[in-house]
Amino acid sequence: MRPVGQANVVAEPVLRIEDLSVCVERDGRSNLALSSVSLSISNGEIVGIVGESGCGKTMMALAIMGLMAENCRTVHGSIALQGLEITSLSARSMRSFRGRRMSMIFQEPMVALNPLMRVGRQVEEVLAIHHIGNRSERRRRVRELFAQVGLSGSGFRSRQYPHELSGGMRQRVMIAVALAAEPALLIADEPTTALDATVQAQILDLLLDIRSRLGTSILFVTHDMGVIAEVADRVVVMYAGQVVEVASVQDLFARPGHPYTAGLLGSITAASSVPEGGDLPTIAGRVPSLEEIPLGCAFAPRCAKVQAHCIDNRPQLATLETGHLAACWFPLPSVGDPRTSATSHSEGGK
């Protein structure tokens, strides 16, 4: 499948989210679950979204897929897929997009797969729904897909039911389902969290392999900084429904600008030993619930470097260096960087 009007949208990113706000209605009250988030993904790029639970990572993925729960509403902003605005699409058009132009894999493949259908049929179903090929072509394509995701003995595997497969194999089937109609964008929501370490490594390699062979763009949602370090090209750090930092994976790990990012990096996955008799660095407190998000900087109550200014004023994303943005009044200085906190202060002003 070729993107529509490819010739005149060469520079257009596969996905562009601008100023998106989503609110959740609960008990008659409405709270912002996503607050003015912006994000773009280029062709063949892997963008990681990282943050703790309750930071809005999954909400972002569901908003893109148009799969938010009934009590969630897009209140502002736009989501453009290959240059086409999708927030205003009808449910019917959205259905023709899902699976075909973008698809999603989930944390728990056993929940996402139909337990009563042979796995080969579940892959074929995607092709049938999108009217791709005739029966025999679809069968051939299923065999191809199974081989692509590393399910050896594909003819035999495709006749099995999900319960006959291991967790890793089920996730491979999910990936085959997601890739069946060759979408431009694959959203992976914690795809390896439920898997064992050795299987996780295999699935991460498979996703990297798919990107390089098929040029699929991947939005990778995870809480695991180690996984980010393995697969992402660029990283979006979320906190309390806001994007707090965006950077290339190298810049982010080498020079985190936001104290929250620095805290995540200082956490377990990154540390290899505890100082003798000392403590691991921690982030005090916990992620606020939607009702408790502070008006100023959302991270202020947990921030070790908080100042009076942070309490009442919400910082906007401001450029620290090319392609590296952070929403912090007093971003962490990088080593040997003459930039002062005062300059970013004025840039970030509302």
Partner 1 sequence: MFGRQYGNGNEQNAIHEASSSSSASPSEASGTLTSREVLLRVEGLTKQYRVGGTLSGYRLVRAVSDVTLSIHAGETFGLVGETGSGKSTTGRLVLALERPTSGTVTFAGQDLSRVSGKELRTLRRMMQPISQDPYSALNGRMRISEILAEPFAIHGVAKGVERRQEVEHLLELVGLPLDSLHRFPYQFSGGQRQRLVIARAIALRPRFIVADEPLSALDVSVQAQIINLLRHLQRDFGLTYLFISHDLPIVRLLCDVIGVMYMGKLVEFASREQLFGAPAHPYSHALLAAVPVTDPSKRAQRKKLYLSGEVPRATEVLTGCVFHSRCPLSEARCVAEVPVLRSLAGGRLVACHFAPVDENALIEAAKSRNASVFATAAIDSGASK
**Shortest spacing between CB 76 and partner 1, in angstroms:** 28
Contact call for residue 282 and partner 1 (CB under 8 A): yes
Residue 94 burial by Cβ neighbours in a 10 Å radius (0-12, 13-18, 19+) = middle
CB neighbour list of residue 53: distance below 8 Å, 6 or more residues apart:
223, 287
* Contact code string over 144-183 relative to partner 1, x by CB under 8 A: x--xx-x-x-------------xxxx--------------
* Stretch touching partner 1 by CB under 8 A, among 29-37, 100-108, 193-201, 305-313: 193-201
Specify the stretch interacting with partner 1 by CB under 8 A; choose among 8-16, 27-35, 118-126, 283-291.
Answer: 283-291
Task: Answer whether 216's CB lies under 8 Å from 179's CB.
Answer: yes
Report the DSSP pairing between strands 15-26 and 185-189: unpaired
Minimum distance, C-beta of residue 95 to partner 1, in the bound complex (Å)? 25
Does 137 participate in binding partner 1 (rule CB under 8 A)? Answer: no
Binding part of the chain for partner 1, among 97-105, 120-128, 274-282, 314-322 by CB under 8 A, reads 274-282
- Tell me if 171 sits within 8 A of 203, measured CB to CB: yes
**For partner 1, which is the closer residue by CB, 77 or 266?**
266
Q: By CB under 8 A, tell whether 273 contacts partner 1.
A: yes
> What does the block give as tokens for 153?
């003995």
Specify the stretch interacting with partner 1 by CB under 8 A; choose among 64-72, 85-93, 226-234, 323-331: 226-234
- DSSP class of residue 131 equals T
By CB under 8 A, residue 267 contacts partner 1: yes
Contact 49, 261 (CB under 8 A): no
**Cβ-based neighbour number of residue 220 at 10 Å:** 27
Interaction of residue 196 with partner 1, rule CB under 8 A: yes
Helix, strand, or coil (residue 24)? strand
- Nearer Cβ to partner 1 (52/125): 52
Q: Is 225 in the site for partner 1 (CB under 8 A)?
A: yes
Helix axes 167-179, 197-214, angle to 10 degrees: 20
Closer residue to partner 1 in complex, CB, 20/184: 184
Angle at 60 between CA 290 and CA 56, to 5 degrees: 30
Q: At what angle do helices 119-129 and 135-148 cross, to 10 degrees?
A: 120
Q: Which of 84, 89, 132, 199 binds partner 1 (CB under 8 A)?
A: 199
Strand order in the sheet with 46-50: 102-105, 185-189, 217-222, 46-50, 234-239, 242-248, 324-326, 318-321
Cβ at position 54, least distance to partner 1 in Å = 9
From the list 28-36, 109-117, 122-130, 282-290, the region that binds partner 1 by CB under 8 A is: 282-290
Contact footprint for partner 1 (CB under 8 A): 52-53, 141, 144, 147-148, 150, 152, 166-169, 196-202, 204-205, 213, 223-230, 232, 249-250, 253-254, 263-264, 266-274, 279-283, 286-287
